[in-house]
Each structure stands twice: as C-alpha cells, then as structure tokens.
Amino acid sequence: MARIIVYLLLAFGWTFGLSGQDRITGLGFATRSEVIAKHCMAATSQPLATQVALDVMRRGGNAVDAAIAANAALGLMEPTGNGIGGDLFAIVWIQKEQRLYGLNASGRSPKSLSYEQLKAELAKQNRELIPSLGPLPVSVPGCVDGWFELHGRFGRVSMEQVLQPAIDYAREGFPVSELIAHYWERSGGLARYPGFADTFLPGGKAPRKGELFRNPALAETLEKIARNGRDEFYRGETAKQIDAFMKRVGGYLSYEDLASHRSEWVDPVSVDYRGYKVWELPPNGQGIAALQMLGMLKAFDLKAAGFGSPSHLHWFVEAKKLAFEDRAKFYADPEFHRLPVAELISDTYLRQRSQLIGGRAAQRVAAGNPALEDGDTIYLTVADQDRNMVSLIQSNYRGFGSGLCPDGLGFCLQDRGEMFDMTPGRFNTYAPGKRPFHTIIPAFVTKDDQPFLSFGVMGGATQPQGHVQIILNIVDFGMNIQEAGDAPRILHNGSSEPTGERMTDGGNVVLESGFEYATIRELLGRGHKVGFEVGNYGGYQAIRYDPKNDVYYGASESRKDGQAAGF
C-alpha cells in the first residue's frame, strides 16, 4: 500500500504542486543555492568563460575587461549563439560616478543595397520576407567596435591581456559542453554555406559533448584585433577579407560599410516597479517592451494572486500582447524615425493601456497612440571589487547567424537583417544604412539609486517576457535570484511583429512543466490557447549586490550550461 501511495504522489505530484520540494525553501523548481562572494562575481552560459572573467579580474582587470574577455571566449565556446560576426548591447554601472551607461553596438544594413534592389532579390527567390540564411540578411557586425568602445572608456588592462584567454583556448582547444553540443549538432545543415563546414564541422561533423574543438583561424583573427585595434576589423586586412568574401558569394556588405560603422552611447531608460527602478536600452532594441509590461502590471495585485495562479498568468500574457503591439509598430532605428519612447513608458500611458486588460484572452489588440512631445544569443554579467557591474548581451541572431563564414577568419556573419519589415512606410521598413529592429537586450535594476541587480534572459522574443518574469518573481513573489531564474516560465507566441506579421487569433501560451493543471484549465476557460514546449524558454544569468553585507550574489539558471562563480 505504501508503495502505491508513493507512485500516486509521483504521478500526480506535479498536478498538486508537490514534486521536488526537498529543499529548505520548499520551492520545487529551485536547482541550487545562490553563489555568494565578497570581491568579484561572473555569471555566463559556459563555465570556462565564467572562469576567464574571474581570472582577468584576479590579474587586475575590472568588470568591463572581464566582460569583454568572457564574451570573446563565448564567441569561441558557444558559436551557436554569438561571435565577432554579431552585434552587442551593454549597460554598465560605474560606482565612482554613481551612474549607468548604455552602449548600442548594433550594425547597419549595406548602403549599396536599396529597398528596390532587395525587393528584386527576394522576388528571384519567390520570397516576401528577408530570409534567415545566406547573404541577404547580413548587416555590419558591431561586436568588435562595441568591445573597443567599452574598453576605451572604462577598461583597465590592455586588450592583448583581455583577448589572450580566448586566443589560447582557440588555439589549444576546449571541451564542448552538453547543451552547446546539442545545438551545434542541429546546425549541420549549414554545411552548404560557404566556409561553414571548414570552420565549424571538423572532420565533416559537429563536435560532440566533451570533444576538443579548436579554431586556429579565430585565434589568428583575435590576435590581429588585439594587436592592431578595432580598425583591424573595420578598416584593416580583416575588413578587406570580409569584403572580398561577400563579393564572391553575391552579398552586399562592403568594406565601405565596415569602415563607416560606429557604435552609439545611449542613456538607459527606466520605469519604477514597486520601488525598484528597472532599466533597459531604448530602441532599436526591444527592451522597453519589458518596461511597458511592468508599467501595466503595476495595476494588479500579483502578490495576492500568487505565483502560478490563473490571474498571474492571464495578466502577464495580456500585458505582453499590448506591449508587443506597440513593439511591432514603433520599435525601430531612431535615426530614421522619431520614436515616442518616453511616452510609451510613461505612467499615464501605461495606466491607460492596463485598463484594456479584461477577464478573457484578447484575440487581437491595437497599438497605442502615444502623442509625441517636443532576435539564439548569449548573456553575461560581471561585477568587480570596485562595485562596477556590467550587463552585456551579444548575438549572431539565429544560432550561427547567416551560415556564411568569411574565408580563414573563424567566425560566421550575423543574419540580423532578417528583422526588417518589407512593407513600405513603417518604422522598421528596410532602408540602406539602417539598423534593424533588435531582440537582444541587457537589463539592470537599481533601488534607492544604488545597484541592485544586473541580469538578462537570452532568447529572441522570450527576452522581454523573461525580464518581466524575473522582476515579478523577485519583487512580487519573494524569490531569491537563483529561484527567480529556475521558476517555470510562461511564453506567449503569435503577437504582431516588427517584421510585418499581425496577431488576429490571440496567439498561443506555452508553459514549462511546473504549473498546476487547475491553472491551465482556467486559462483555457478564459479563452487562451495553451500548449507545452521544451527548450525555448531562454537562458538567465544574474548578479545582485547586497550593500548591507557588501557582497555579491550570483545566479545561473539550469536551462543552459552556465555557471555563476566569484571570489
């Protein structure tokens, strides 16, 4: 009889919220304790990259040096999500100045490719939308310039020292970790694109878990960049090699595009959520979608509703639909359109939008009309002994990006241009020399004008949804930063998109295991379409500063291969 009862509990424990509650917290989803350290902390999606960041700080580097070093290492170790052929965004807290800096290091579309020419190229392929792969979605890689902008302003040790760990690993090899090996193996179809197999499929196949992977071509490229500076990539021999390669494969990205590239320092923007200021970067990224959602959700008593309740999930999904409708209409390159950023995140506007959230699932919603007044990825965060903190995200967009790997350089070019809209007259409509709508967003939280949390959740449209869920989990539901990342996630798909698609059927709610069946039944009763997916819920890293004890807390969620560690 006892054995039958155990079997019944195992079978139905998920339904009744009983499964796995063997930790002190009683939270069944908590995978481990937070990491706590006095001096420095790093959290990345690959443990070796975390160790690279800590080593740089042990040797005199600061958080910015360490973040760049970890990013360079991840470009080698997790090429399924990032690399120097992609873009970068960062938020940096500088303790001595008591302020945040924002960097937009995203690249622009080729100047030689007009809208009409792109339309003709798509017509040849019987396409209306820009493809994910090949030469057409390639835009200028902004990562390397982003490194040098960050380092030039805040770095402490030389770029040679910063990039040397990645160079050494690229030359000597590193053992591929489990989840990265899985996504690498799924990318074998890219072998038909020039340079990909030579760069990423040694012996004709993806490296398996535990196998050593070497990338001597990337080591040489990074060595040249370390020695010659950012101009090596944008005006030097590397730029010329990229230009020649793109001409050979029928692409439009040119030496001129690389030589004229520039990053932009921007002011982070924020909303107050129950006494916590949550900071994001303004468009062309999607960060303010998280701020819009939080601004709407302030109108609802989430704490009383409780984590995982029908009201929690319903309010979250409906706020997401409203924010993403504005995202589809307004988020674009501010150099081409005057964007109503302040208005979109104002208390007045978001209070009005929250009143549109009713008791049932909306099938379609309209973008707001704020009056103007005069896209796989990696995320990492680092904090140093001077209490500087870096929140950094970097991506090729889809996995390895375009699949195109310039001859002998060791990396793929991104496919971020896929995110343009080909419908004339919209904010995000394609134009030459324009930055596409961007999905990758770093985040930061301050409390009482002091640093509280540096965090991010990678993963396309999952990112603002993930940011909001982390904040709700910490502020409304009382979780620590590890629990907040391990908690089962909600993901809504099917909203209107900046690429032109429009929501007409309410989209779909997909849930990780861990939510009560009773909750799911009520969501269905409110008109939501609910499903389940595995592996599409992003990847979170975080560092919290505790001013009372003057220590850092680190977290790295269980959906990635990553590690939080400190000293």
pLDDT tens for each residue of 260-299? 999 999 999 999 999 999 999 999 999 999 999 999 999 9
**Distance between CA atoms of 66 and 325, rounded to whole angstroms?**
37
**Distance between CA atoms of 495 and 331, rounded to whole angstroms?**
14
> 107 and 240: one domain?
yes
- Helix (H), strand (E) counts: the chain: 20, 19
The sign one gets for the Cα dihedral 353, 356, 359, 361 is negative
**Distance between CA atoms of 550 and 38, rounded to whole angstroms?**
7
Count: domains in the chain: 2
Instruction: Inform me whether the pLDDT recorded for 11 exceeds 60.
Output: no
pLDDT at 18: 34
Residue 135 and residue 247 in contact, taking contact as beta carbons nearer than 8 Å: no
**Distance between CA atoms of 346 and 424, rounded to whole angstroms?**
29
Domain assignment present for 100 = yes
Catalytic residue among 44, 50, 377, 462: 377
Instruction: Inform me whether the pLDDT recorded for 372 exceeds 60.
Output: no
Instruction: Inform me whether the pLDDT recorded for 307 exceeds 70.
Output: yes
pTM equals 0.93
**Distance between CA atoms of 203 and 206, rounded to whole angstroms?**
8
pLDDT average, residue stretch 475-502? 94
> 12 and 62: one domain?
no
Quick check: is 377 catalytic? yes
Residue 428 and residue 498 in contact, taking contact as beta carbons nearer than 8 Å: yes
Tokens standing for residue 303: 């704490």
> 17 and 51: one domain?
no
Residue 406 and residue 242 in contact, taking contact as beta carbons nearer than 8 Å: yes
Question: CB neighbours of 463 closer than 8 A, spacing ≥ 6?
Answer: 286, 290, 377, 439, 440, 441, 456, 457, 538
Task: State what percent of residues in the chain have pLDDT above 90.
Answer: 86
pLDDT average, residue stretch 29-51? 94
Domain assignment present for 316 = no
**Distance between CA atoms of 507 and 325, rounded to whole angstroms?**
12
DSSP H or E stretch at residue 218: helix 216-228
**Distance between CA atoms of 322 and 351, rounded to whole angstroms?**
12
For the chain, give percent helix, strand, coil, nearest 5.
40, 20, 45
> 13 and 78: one domain?
no
Reported as half-sphere exposure (CB side, CA atoms, 13 A), residue 16 has a value of 7
Domain assignment present for 173 = yes
> 26 and 53: one domain?
no
pLDDT tens for each residue of 70-96? 999 999 999 999 999 999 999 999 999
3-state SS string for 439-469: CCCCEEEEECCEEEEEEEEECCCHHHHHHHH
DSSP H or E stretch at residue 37: strand 35-37
Domain assignment present for 547 = no
**Distance between CA atoms of 17 and 22, rounded to whole angstroms?**
12
**Distance between CA atoms of 456 and 464, rounded to whole angstroms?**
9
> 113 and 8: one domain?
no
Other beta carbons within 10 angstroms of residue 30's beta carbon come to: 23
Instruction: Inform me whether the pLDDT recorded for 370 exceeds 80.
Output: no
pLDDT tens for each residue of 402-457? 999 999 999 999 999 999 999 999 999 999 999 999 999 999 999 999 999 999 99
Enter the DSSP assignment of 421: B
Distance from the Cα of residue 96 to its chain's centroid:
28
pLDDT tens for each residue of 383-401? 999 999 999 999 999 889 9
pLDDT average, residue stretch 340-348? 95
> 128 and 25: one domain?
no
Final residue of a domain: which of 419, 451, 473? 419
Question: CB neighbours of 507 closer than 8 A, spacing ≥ 6?
Answer: 321, 492, 493, 494, 495, 529
Domain assignment present for 432 = no
Task: State what percent of residues in the chain have pLDDT above 70.
Answer: 94
Reported as half-sphere exposure (CB side, CA atoms, 13 A), residue 60 has a value of 5
Q: Which of 387, 341, 407 is nearest to 97 (CA)?
A: 387
Q: Which residues pair with 395 in a beta bridge?
A: 87, 377
pLDDT average, residue stretch 465-475? 97
Q: Which of 64, 65, 89, 86 is nearest to 75 (CA)?
A: 86
Domain assignment present for 145 = yes
Enter the DSSP assignment of 473: I
pLDDT at 26: 61
| DSSP, residue by residue, 356-390 | T--SS--S------PPP----EEEEEEE-TTS-EE
Tokens standing for residue 472: 């709700």
The phi-psi region of residue 57 (left if phi > 0; otherwise alpha if psi is between -120 and 50; otherwise beta) is alpha
Query: Cα–Cα distances in Å, from 416 out to 110, 419, 502?
Result: 12, 6, 20
Tokens standing for residue 84: 């120097």
> 96 and 26: one domain?
no
> 202 and 78: one domain?
yes
Domain range spanning residue 11?
2-30
Question: Which tops the pLDDT comparison, 475 or 461?
Answer: 475
> 73 and 214: one domain?
yes
**Distance between CA atoms of 237 and 231, rounded to whole angstroms?**
9
pLDDT at 195: 95
Q: How confident is the model at residue 371 (pLDDT cuts 50, 70, 90)?
A: low
Enter the DSSP assignment of 413: P
> 25 and 140: one domain?
no
Instruction: Inform me whether the pLDDT recorded for 33 exceeds 50.
Output: yes
Please give the backbone phi and psi of residue 418, each rounded to the nearest 5 degrees, phi first. -55, -25
pLDDT at 24: 55
**Distance between CA atoms of 275 and 261, rounded to whole angstroms?**
39
> 236 and 87: one domain?
yes
Final residue of a domain: which of 419, 450, 471? 419
pLDDT at 15: 35
Q: Which of 307, 290, 310, 271 is nearest to 478 (CA)?
A: 307
Domain assignment present for 494 = no
pLDDT at 459: 83
Residue 173 and residue 207 in contact, taking contact as beta carbons nearer than 8 Å: no
Domain assignment present for 501 = no
